[in-house]
Structure 1
Amino acid sequence: MVSNLDKSSIINMENTARYQPRSKLNVTFSTADRDSAVFVFNVTKGNNPLLLSTENVAGHIALKHNDGSFVKDTLHFTEPNINGCFGYYIPNEMLKREGTVTMQVFISEKGNSNVTVAERIVTFDIEKSIVSQISAETKLQYIVEYDELQAIIANRITDIEDNMANAEDYVSQLEQAREKGLTDIEVAKTDSVKALNDLADKRLEEINNKASVYSSKFDDDKQYMDDKHQAFKESVLNSEVVTQGESKEWQKYKLTNDDGTRIYLPKGSFEDVTKLASGFYETVTADDASSQGFPPGINNSSFVEIDITRGGDTRTQIKVVMNYNMRTFCKTIHTNSIDNYGWKELISLPLDEEIETQNSAESRANETLADANRYTDEQFSKQHTVLFEGSANGVNTEFNLTDSIYNYSLIMISGKFPGGTFNEPVLVSNVIDNITIQRFNLTDAEGQLVEFYESSVNVKNGIKPFIRHDVAFDYKNSKPSGKDKNAFTITKVEGWK
């Protein structure tokens, strides 16, 4: 049983498969802590006390001092019939030496040394007591000072005895003072004892009341623990707990997470998908998916699911599925790591589509021919298209077409100018950026007044041409018109395919 005056440190031991690293405890005992340095070990599972008893487990402890000394011992339950709690007092022989101690604790199942319920490896320190650190020189100095003080006191006693011998009245006064002092002391003692007894009775009554409450609660808790303990023993003896023998033929390899979901591999966390162990995985491919051995059809930074199974002599089957579009790729690696065929993509059909047969192929061919004839008739009917009708005049004037001129083989630009109307046919294959329209006109009946006209239409955009320039020249007078004669007005654009 651990005393309330002991220096105790509680250590939790979890019954879990999760790795528990070796830890440095913030615990320090003194070389003076004889018979009082104790560790208490609580064995839990899922943050709840684990129901253990002397009937099914045993506790063991090993301590190794950094000076090479070693102790191996057995743990004991701290209270009878209280499950899951062990205690251990550090041996006095080890507490005599300051330094660092490594402690290994493990709780094992009785009758089967291979089953470990819980295990911890920790370290703690032993510091040298201040008293034991006082040097011999300091001790000798205190002894000398004590002898000197003893000599001074002896001299003073001698002086007092001499004075008492020479003065009887001193004795009388001392006797009177002594009697008075004793009387005062007796009165004070009586009053103090009564007050102390009254206070003690009051505190004792409070303690008894609290003890009754705690005793009642302890009895209830103990009864609860006894019931749980009995239920545990009955469940162990009569339950459907699976033994090692019963699970001998079970599947031992872990293909998924505990909840059955795929094992997630962080993006870019492996170098070659073909080297992964058997299992069901999901991951995001690297920015360059091919660097991880994925097939060329897998997109970079794509979420994929991977199924890998392996047989003897390195025979392997690998399936990779891009989750968002269901594209599926497979690879088989034959005996002795021979990869003859590389990655293959599996072709699949939607549920509403059927596999092609000879009859369905012929029917589809007939439908295609009918569609082609219908399309041809429609295209012939659409050989001629009016792309623009309106009035476009002046430099930088833009006009919109219903379709790009580059979708046609021949276009015709029509309109009017001072000499009448014009129709300008243009072979589209010869057009680079601009279409130039040139005309001349004899301006009187004798044909003496001659003017030349030119306009340029920029069609680089294809669907939004504009008038780039519009100029004229008076041949008789040798007079140019300037850059914006604006003699041409475009009224219609037509196209032929």
Structure 2
Amino acid sequence: MTNGIDKKALFKLASEPYLKPISDLGFGFYNLDENTAILRFQLSNDKGPLLISKNNLTAYAYFESTNGSASDVIELAIEDEFQGIVTITLDSAFLHACTNTTVTGQVYIGVNNVDGNSQYNEVAVFREFKFEVADALINKITSTTKIEYIRMFSQLKQRIEQEVKDIEEAIANGADYVAEMKTVLQQGKDALNKIVIDGKADINTLITQSKSDIDETVSQSIEDIATLSNNTKTSIQNTADTANESVKATSDQAITHVDAKVAEFNKTVEDNGFVTPEQLDTNINSLNWQKYKLTNDDGSYQIVALAENLDNLYNLPAGNFYTTSVPITSASSQAGFTTVEKRENVVRRITFRPYNSKQTWVKRFYNTWSDWERVDSTLTDTGWVEFNLINGAATNTEYGDRNGFKCAYRTIVNGSVTERCLRINGSNIVPGQTIANLPSGFCKNAQTFPVRIPTKYAGGYLVIEPSGNVKFYINGDSSAWISTDYAYGEMSWKD
């Protein structure tokens, strides 16, 4: 029965022909654990998790303590057929027998040979692992302490019995309490009735007074409204009379003014006093203003084919053009918008913007023409791309309470300069092992950098290879290195 208090530990086992040191799983159980000490194993090979089921494979495990205690050969239960996960619940009797010892275990898998043909017999043995079995703290209580607990519970029993006796006596005297409560209840009813009668009288008095006040207020309001209405009517009539007189006077003046202007206009027409179209063109052409056409009449740019000829480009007049076959090699396109600026024939500047990108290219002339120069920004930044460590290493385990960074890589390109950045944060790593796979070609040359590790060691460092493999090493003796030791650091370089 599962109540959510299981102690489950997952260990990854690979089917490979390499003899490696016994792996310390880094966890343990207690001798009082019962049906909660669970080991989970993920079985895999170089292609990924093994696909297992009761029809094709059977998994077994065997455990042996340093004090000589040993388990039976136990068949493992299949938990996840597609992820290759099997599980076993350690027997409480075996845990009790292994108290205060280190237990070494090993997992075996065998192909179910239903035909009994010996050539189909296949058994794979996985690497050994170990864990600890400790003595539960409660087992260390002395006999003296146990006697004190017994005496304490005896005294508690006596106190409870006395409390029960007191309650029984109080219940026996309950009749007197009931009579007293009835008296108090009657007194409360009498007081409440008096309050209700007095309240009704006060409310009736208040209602009578309020009606009188309201009637008086209504009468006064009616008189005020009648007076205000009469005054308003008189004021509006006076204002209307004044407005009518003002409008009539203004209208008479406007009619007189318009009649005079109409007569003046008719006189001008009769005398031919307007400018003719021919005279208007002459007057406009005589004005001193710039007469250089920069665009087509509809605002679009004139299209010019340059045939990849520099002379055609240099001979463009000042203005705005859409040019094709521009003599340029590094732009995203040879077609785009071209602007020609000049100061007489001394200084010239040509700006070319390809139609399919945000690039901007410039050529300048002062005595001689310069080469094409790109003037827009070329900076690109991938940002931090997070990744997980491999080969059983635990990712992002350190400095979490101090806003520690996570495993990630980054590429920043500014023109021809490429900067690479790398962050490592993890534990359960093995010195000399590949702990990460970055994109191939992440660095042009092999790189090596120091990283933070526990201070009890001489120091640690990473090697980043052009293939993308990242390997971890420590200086000096690595025999004391354990699974909880860690590596943490950030590094960057320019390719």
TM-score, with length taken from structure 2: 0.31
Larger Cα Rg: Structure 1 or Structure 2? 1
TM-score, with length taken from structure 1: 0.31
